[in-house]
Amino acid sequence: MKESESTPPASEPCYAHTHPEFPRPKDAETHWEKLYTECSSGTCTGLDDCCSKCGHLDKVARLTAKFAEEMFPEGSEEANSAREWGWLAGLWHDLGKFAPEWQEYLKRKVSDAHQDECIGKVDHSTAGAQWAVSRNAMLGHLFAYAIAGHHSGLADSESESACLSKRLKKSVAPLGTIPDALARLDVPKLPPAVQRRFRDPLLPNASPVFALYSRMLFSCLVDADFLATESFMNPGQAKDRSKAPSSLIERMDQILTQHVEDFGVPNSSVNQARSAVHQQCLEAAENPVGLFTLTVPTGGGKTLSSLAFALRHAIRHRQRRVIYVIPFTSIIEQNAQVFAEVFDALSKELGIPIVLEHHSNLSPESETIQTRLASENWDAPIIVTTAVQFYESLHAARTSSCRKLHNIANCVVILDEAQCLPRDYLHPCLDVLQQLAAIYHTSVVLCTATQPAIKKSEAFPIGIGESLEIISDPQLLFEDLRRVRVINRGPLDDETVAGEMDAELQCLAIVNTRRHARELFNRLSSVGEAFHLSTLMCPIHRKSILREVRERLVMKKSVRLVSTQLIEAGVDVDFPRVYRSMAGIDSIGQAAGRCNRNGKLESLGETHLFASEHQRSESYFRETTNVTSQVLALNEDPLSLSSVEQFFQLYYHEHRPANGKRWDSKEILEDYRLNQDRSLPFGFQFREVAKKFRLIENDQTSIVIPYDGEAKALIEELRNEVIPLHRDLLRKLQSYVVQLRKTEFQKNHQQFERVRDGQFHILICPETHYSPHFGLHFENANQDLLICTE
């Protein structure tokens, strides 16, 4: 190695990174990235024109400022203030790299992987956090959380392990000479919308407000740091990132308008009602940014109508994107497909993804380099994601989870199937939704057929305040779209239900447990025309069953389907008769949505509600069924708006968890505190919150099923540990995975092959333990192991 290639130029004392291909490049400008160049003249407008001449701090400051500004209305005081915060966060985040000790380490290092909080033994992120606090003893701590965690993630304020308090007291390497342009900068004022929460005693607790602002600043900084580093370390990948034209939302609105017009004049009462919903959504889009409800029964066309509202509303208020939050992956795939078909030509014309799916079931065939990169920070005009991904990200601490958060601000968020708000996390969820609407210029639409009763009242103080219902007369709309009547049959045993199903040409039964579904299916007489669905079947198996069921429905052939409640998760099927085991009103409404869904029957479809003979083994559903029984005692129609409201009032308002913490059973909001101690004024337990906020508890083990030839080929690749695990393999395997509760897994562990040091478990004998009717089972090993609920 020549000396000229192994040391930086003498005239440039401080550098941020070395190129991964060092020392091959001959030009020092190529393989040594400057740390700071004081490029504050405003001549640089983005990364493209400052990569070759600006330092890393300049680039990160420019991007962080841009991202922070874009969270608020253009030109507002909030946007201007946030821009200053972003600028400082970017300039200060790597101050530790001015340390001569760090520079000496960089000279010895061949490349910088940009992964760890500390490079070698030289901590470069703590120095910036300490500097921020030295400039402002109070507000500097909001910078400190973001800067100290820009590699390792947001820390707890105090902890027995690593925490912000310890980082601020830590002895770090002397910084050497800090440029005057950085040293003289002071912490700016908070954005007025955030500051008001601190000063007004009539407004809700300010602690979560400051916590979210710090998390949003962290998001801006992390995304900016990744992108700026990528522009130097991996410029080829940086060029693969999509760049949407500024007029994209307007073009999408025009395309959607034409798409709806192509349906022609509504020729039925159902289509006329759907057209009315669409028109009211367009009219409501002119309203100010805030909280909305969209109460539309199943089959009312709310998917495209809500998108029409979102695009028109975004144009009206210059919001940046539309985010669909959906509780079930089955609905995600359906909605994303609808949106993709509408905008497919535009996406191909511009060469960028218009619709980005971000969920665990995404198939590799649906993914491109651009969509994979966009999913890192949600940089696309339409995002379709899960409720788990959305809410857990807003309470996350890891850099990868928080990176996208700033792109949720200043957008339109559609919460589809909003009745699925988790009760034990209700307060944290409602709090963050209200903050997005009140502070971050985000319009939130609660979209459902069974609107949850979450308005603020004396009995429900955590509820949302002002909200606008988009539909002028929801009750009239429900009457216009009524296609089914619910008949409460009382107690029915399996023999009776099976006998009535056998007498029907086409019929669906939805029950609460896998065991009940299996036993009811076994009582049906025409096995060749009967089908069964549960989550013990791998996804590709379930899709195959649903494909055959749909074909038989369309062709008017005999078909009887017994399913657990997974079919209520937005699965598009249309039966003339449905049986539903007693459950919550919201589940009954979803079951009714699979009956006469398209209104093709001359008379109303029938949904038969019954009390099952298996109620003793359905303890998980006992509370919701008891609440439903109370509602049915007072209301004849369980699908009426008054029944739905009463159900959620009882279900939410009367909730009494064992620890007495209603609506926040894990006490998440109590982990955000304002302290009197000026040495640590913001007591935010970010990592503790992230650990506790889990909408789906991880008590299951993934089992890979050798279902077909494709699965067996993937398993052979998985077994070959010479081949590193890669994204494509993991994505493809998801189609062949069944989730098994850990207790059931442990009882049957001898039935599985462990590979990759126990990371994966493969079913050894599918011929014995995987049924074409029921999926995974262990009757031959131990008869009653799979008595569990969905």
- Per-residue confidence (pLDDT) for residue 106, from 0 to 100: 81
More confident residue, 386 or 71: 71
Q: Is 49 left (phi over 0), alpha (psi -120 to 50) or beta?
A: alpha
* Of the listed ranges 75-89, 143-157, 190-204, the one predicted with least confidence: 190-204
Distances (CA, A) of 386 to 395, 437, 518, 728: 15, 20, 29, 21
* Distance from C-alpha of 278 to C-alpha of 300, rounded to nearest angstrom: 9
pLDDT of residue 109: 65
The pLDDT tens digits of the residues spanning 410-433 come to 999 999 888 788 888 999 999 999
When pLDDT is averaged across residues 696-718 and rounded to a whole number, the result is 90
Q: Is the pLDDT of residue 8 over 70?
A: no
Is the pLDDT confidence value at 187 over 90? Answer: yes
- What is the 8-class DSSP label of residue 513? B
Q: Per-residue confidence at 29, pLDDT binned at 50, 70, 90?
A: low
Q: Which residue has the higher pLDDT, 723 or 368?
A: 723
Q: What percent of the chain has pLDDT over 70?
A: 86
**Mean pLDDT on 564-593:** 90
Question: Would you place residue 396 in the very low, low, confident or very high pLDDT band (cuts 50, 70, 90)?
Answer: very high
User: What pLDDT does residue 78 have?
Assistant: 97
Confidence of residue 81 (pLDDT cuts 50, 70, 90): very high
At residue 784 the predicted structure's pLDDT band, cuts being 50, 70 and 90, is very low
Q: Which residues contact 636 (CB under 8 A, 6 or more apart)?
A: none
90-99, 176-185, 355-364, 453-462, range with the lowest pLDDT: 355-364
> Range with the lowest mean pLDDT among 57-61, 176-180, 641-645?
176-180
Question: In whole angstroms, how far apart are CA 580 and each of 341, 484, 506, 516?
Answer: 34, 13, 15, 12
Spatial distance between the Cα atoms of 193 and 72, rounded to a whole number of angstroms: 10
| pLDDT digit string, tens, across residues 637-674 | 998 999 998 998 888 877 776 666 779 999 999 999 99
Block residue for tokens 């109460």: 295
DSSP annotation of 558: -
- Given a contact cutoff of 8 angstroms between Cβ atoms, the answer to whether 49 and 32 are in contact is no
Q: How far apart are CA 194 and CA 142, in angstroms?
A: 12
Give the per-residue pLDDT at 299.
Answer: 79
Question: What region, left, alpha or beta, does residue 364 occupy, with left being phi > 0 and alpha being psi -120 to 50 degrees?
Answer: alpha
pLDDT: which is higher, 12 or 644: 644
- In the 3-class helix/strand/coil scheme, how is 9-54 assigned residue by residue? CCCCCCEEEECCCCCCCCCHHHHEEECCCCCCCCCCCCCCCCCCCC
Cβ neighbourhood burial of 160 (10 Å; 0-12, 13-18, 19+): exposed
List pLDDT tens digits, range 248-267: 999 999 999 999 999 988 88
Q: What is the pLDDT of residue 12?
A: 54
pLDDT in tens, 264-316: 888 888 889 999 999 999 999 999 999 999 999 887 889 999 999 999 999 99
**Band (782; pLDDT cuts 50, 70, 90):** very low
37-46's contacts with Cβ under 8 Å and 24+ in sequence apart are 38/179, 38/181, 40/181
pLDDT band (50, 70, 90) for residue 452: confident
In angstroms, the CA 219 to CA 399 distance is: 8
Per-residue pLDDT, 725? 82
The pLDDT, as a whole number, for residue 706 is 97
